[in-house]
Amino acid sequence: MTLKLSVCIDAVFEGVAETEAIARVADAGIDAIEFWCWWEKDLDSMVAAAEKHSMTIAACCTKFVSLVDPELRPLYIAGLTQSIAAAKQIGCKTLISQVGDFLPGQSRQVQHQSLVDGLIEAAPLLEEAGITLVIEPLNDRVDHKGYYLVGSDEAFEIVGKVNSPNVKVVFDIYHQQISEGDVITRLTKNIDAIGHFHAAGNPGRNELDRGELNYSQIFEAIAQTGFQQHIGLEYWPIRDPDEGIRAVSRMQTRPL
């Protein structure tokens, strides 16, 4: 099996200069990186480093504005417009969007509909730009207490209602293992609605070979679907980060 990997340099190489992190990812044999906040980066230097090492910038985040609050929608769309411009600048085809925390005093139905309506408004901007926005369910038991979108079923329902090829889900295997489990069945059943993956070991959110998740089998299941987008390694390493990502690269290219 061969899958397209990217490394989230903000996590795996936390505290390392972006240009150095890009070089180290390339040295490990992986040809794509991703990161979180484009507005905190020197994008020109990152592009230069990526071009030097023949790297792709696979994904970054859009501005963190709540989608579940309809009053904030103009701010969300403005932030998305800025993020699309930044993505074009760096040749990035995927924007990751969190959706915001649950709003006390409002029903889930109202907040769900706000999410759908906001993404319907965003879709033409994304389609025109040729960029895919992926909304991210997160676990609220360990890492993101109060976050609205936890279950992947609701995320898939939302993008189904939006009905745009440029609005999909980022399926974070670590988060969904904590929230609901049954990850292989869930991801294979809904692969057409997934635009990006994240991967980390559970428990701990460390290297993929630590914990209860069998990533060799998970990667094989993804490969069998014909998935063509990236799997982002978004974890905090316990051992040498360079060896950790080399180990993943070796794991996903050897026959099972």
Cα separation, 163 vs 93, in Å, equals 19
> What residue has token string 């925390």?
101
SS3 82: helix
Cα separation, 78 vs 81, in Å, equals 5
Active site residue ranges:
136, 234
The single-letter DSSP state of residue 15 is T
Chain centroid to Cα 26, Å, comes to 20
190 CB neighbour count, 10 Å cutoff: 19
Question: DSSP for 16-60?
Answer: S-HHHHHHHHHHTT--EEE-S-GGGS-HHHHHHHHHHTT-EEEEE
Indicate the residue type of 128.
Answer: E
